[in-house]
Amino acid sequence: MSNYIPTIGVEVHVELKTKTKIFSPSTNGYGEMANSLTNEIDLGYPGTLPRLNEEVINLGIKAATILNCKIRKVMHFDRKNYFYPDISKNYQITQNRTPIGYDGYVEIEIDGEKKKVEIEEIHIEEDTCKSAHRGEKTLLDFNRAGVPLIEIVTKPCMTSSKEAKLYLEKLRELLTYGDISDCKIEEGSMRAEPNVSLRKNESDPFGTKVEIKNIGSISNVVAGIEKEIERQTKLYDKGEKIVPQTRRYDDKIGDTVLMRVKETGNDYRYFPEPDIPFVVLTDEQIEEVQKTIPMLPDERRKKYLELGVSETNTKKLIQNRNLSDFFNTIIDEKTNHQIASNLLLGDISAYLNKNEKTIDETTLNKERILELIKLMEGNKLSSKNLKEILDSILETNSKIEEIIKEKGIQNITDDNKIIEIVKKIINENEESVTDYKNGHDRAIKYLMGQVMKETKGTINPKIAMEILKEELDK
């Protein structure tokens, strides 16, 4: 175990889910032919000027709100000047002095305790182009150039890779739920860059910071931080100094590798972007945007548990945004929400997966699911029967009661009829009845199976079991 206290901060870039790029009308897309989503603005041609995609500002407001940040009402963009082939103008338009959000936090739960991960600032900027190295040559694909990004910077306030992991998971959940980004790390629409330093005591100043870049997954963020703590600990133990540097995580060797040593005083010659006037946000605009924020995961979690949904189902629902949104349409209804969650996560999910559909692509709606729950609750439909008619429920607009009638699979809910069948089974299986009376538990299961077989599963198994027990104990 290390004798040092790690200090961890994380910078996260996420690509915003907009139709077009931040400063040009080019499509914001992924996986298209190289340089097909570009125009003269993205390529930094002479005389071109940036426009400003209002959607980006709105998503910035949304992100700032969700991450509990203060929102800056008067802001401008800045030019960050540096020569590199990935930026067509040789300057990046970003927000250096007036980030849209600042002083926020994300709440995580670590070992049962709540902790606020503090957000220093979030700012809006343009993404760079993608470069691919082919032997001596470098190929440039400007499709990504000008895709809107927000950069979310935490304070150096985390002390373990576990905290960093929980923070990133929570951040991803919040940003996806806020429809801000799809946060696909593997496609690069979410990129996390942790920085790590060590110190001996809480009271010591922070140690020398090392940044880790090029990390392709949250688990690699954890591995990267762990490896870096290990590396720095060894160096400190040997009495050596840490050189400020940027490292990358190499998945193949499972370790961090030096990218470059930080040169002192990186000079980006920042100045306010003269091509974009100051952006002034009104209270009305901020409120309008905030109204569009859907119910966030924490609130959903609380609500679902209150409604009597099991913890497992709650977790699963929230992991599936579409199902959770559908579920939200009935949270104010008087119904059995546990059954609803069972239905959604069980048979309906299986059907959707099998048919590669989303719930919005079915005919299921609020009224129909309420009817379905009512039928199931009233034992008018067993889950076995449900499977048979599920495609009709999800693909037609017919009333579910009518579907049941049409298919002739009405449940046997008449107790007398069930008693009759149970009696018949008891009579036909004397041996098992004797076994039961001699205390063999397995026998009742066999008898129950026979009852279900006889009724082709059209009876409520709970009621059938009760009657079976009653008859056997007579």
Partner 1 sequence: MKYLNLSIKEINKLLKDKKIKPIDLVNEAIENIEKHKEYNAYITLNKEEAIKKAKELEDKEVDNLFFGIPIAIKDNIITKNLRTTCASHMLDNFIPPYNATVIEKIKEKNMIIIGKTNMDEFAMGSSSRTSYFGPPKNPWNKNKISGGTSGGSATTIASRDLPIALGSDTGGSIRQPSAYTGIVGLKPTYGRVSRYGLVAYASSFDQIGPMTRNVYENALLLETIVGHDEKDLTSSKRETEDFTRLIGKDIKNMKIAIPKFFVSDIVDKEIIEKINQTIEILKKNGAIVDYVDMKYIENTVTLYQIIAMGEASSNLARYDGIRYGFSYENPKDINDLYLKTRKEGFGEEVKQRIMVGSYILSGENAKIYYNKALSIRDDIKKEFSRIFENYDWIIGPTTTTTAYNLDDPMDDPSKAFMDDVLVIPANLAGLPGINIPIGFDKSNMPIGMHIIGNSFEEAKIYQLASLIEKELKLDLNPWKGEENE
Contacts 24+ apart (CB under 8 A), 94-98: 94/123, 94/124, 94/125, 94/126, 94/151, 95/123, 95/124, 95/125, 96/123, 96/268, 96/270, 97/270, 97/272, 98/72, 98/74
Compare residues 81 and 159 and give the one whose CB is closer to partner 1: 81
Report d(CA 39, CA 45) in Å as an integer: 9
Minimum Å gap between C-beta 265 and partner 1 is 7
Please, are residues 473 and 439 in contact by the beta-carbon 8 Å criterion?
no
Q: What is the DSSP string of 51-71?
A: ---HHHHHHHHHHHHHTT-EE
- Report if residue 209 touches partner 1, rule: CB under 8 A: no
Which residue's CB is nearer to partner 1, number 89 or number 247? 89
Long-range contacts of residues 201-208, Cβ cutoff 8 Å, at least 24 apart: 201/5, 202/5, 206/7, 206/156, 207/4, 207/7, 207/232, 207/242, 208/241, 208/242, 208/243, 208/244
* Nearest CB to partner 1, comparing residues 252 and 269: 269
Instruction: Tell me how far apart the alpha carbons of residues 446 and 442 are, in angstroms, rounded to a whole number.
Output: 7
Binding residues for partner 1 restricted to 432-471, rule: CB under 8 A: none
* 36 is an interface residue for partner 1 by CB under 8 A: no
Its sign, for the CA torsion 196, 199, 205, 208, is: negative
Contact 198, 7 (CB under 8 A): yes
Exactly one of 2, 32, 36, 45 binds partner 1 (CB under 8 A); that residue is 45
CB 17, min distance to partner 1, A: 23
Residue 48 binds partner 1 (CB under 8 A): yes
- Among residues 285 and 290, whose Cβ is nearest to partner 1? 285
Residue 33 CB, nearest approach to partner 1 (Å): 18
* Residue 46 or 408 having the CB closest to partner 1: 46
Return the range that interacts with partner 1 (CB under 8 A); candidates 3-11, 45-53, 98-106, 407-415: 45-53
CB of 53 to partner 1, least distance (A): 11
Regarding 81 and contact with partner 1 (CB under 8 A), the answer is yes
Q: Count of residues for the chain?
A: 474
C-beta of residue 288 within 8 angstroms of C-beta of residue 55: no
- Burial class of 306 by CB neighbour count within 10 A (0 to 12, 13 to 18, 19+): exposed
262/374 with CB nearer partner 1: 262
Q: Which parts of 53-72 interact with partner 1 (CB under 8 A)?
A: none
Burial class (CB in 10 A: 0-12, 13-18, 19+), 110: middle
**Closer to partner 1 at the Cβ: 48 or 379?**
48
Q: Which residue has the tokens 């799809």?
A: 182
Q: Does 34 bind partner 1 (CB under 8 A)?
A: no
Task: Give the chain's radius of gyration (CA, Å).
Answer: 30
**Shortest Å, Cβ 58 to partner 1:** 17
Q: What character string, x for contact with partner 1 (CB under 8 A) and - otherwise, covers 135-174?
A: ---x-x----------------------------------
| 51 touches partner 1 by CB under 8 A | yes
Q: In this chain, which stretch among 5-13, 43-51, 111-119, 398-406 interacts with partner 1, using CB under 8 A?
A: 43-51
| Beta pairing, strands 271-272 & 78-81 | antiparallel
Q: Which of 1, 31, 33, 83 binds partner 1 (CB under 8 A)?
A: 83
Closest CA to 287 of 119, 70, 9, 61: 61
Q: Tell me the per-residue interface mask from 248 to 287 with partner 1, x by CB under 8 A, - otherwise.
A: -----------------x-x-xxxx-xxxx----------
d(CA 433, CA 398): 45
The footprint of partner 1 on this chain (CB under 8 A) covers a number of residues equal to: 31
Q: Which residue number, 88 or 197, has a Cβ lying nearer to partner 1?
A: 88
| C-alpha to C-alpha distance for 99 and 124, rounded to whole angstroms | 7
- Closest CB to partner 1 among 105 and 268? 268
Select the span of 50-58, 255-263, 294-302, 308-316 touching partner 1 (CB under 8 A). Answer: 50-58
The single residue listed with the structure tokens 């343009």 is 126
**DSSP 8-state symbol, 118:** E
88: contact with partner 1 by CB under 8 A: yes
Stretch in the footprint of partner 1 (CB under 8 A) among 46-54, 209-217, 248-256, 379-387: 46-54
DSSP-based three-state secondary structure for 277: coil
Q: Which residues are at the interface with partner 1 (CB under 8 A)?
A: 40, 43-52, 79, 81, 83, 85, 88-91, 138, 140, 265, 267, 269-272, 274-277
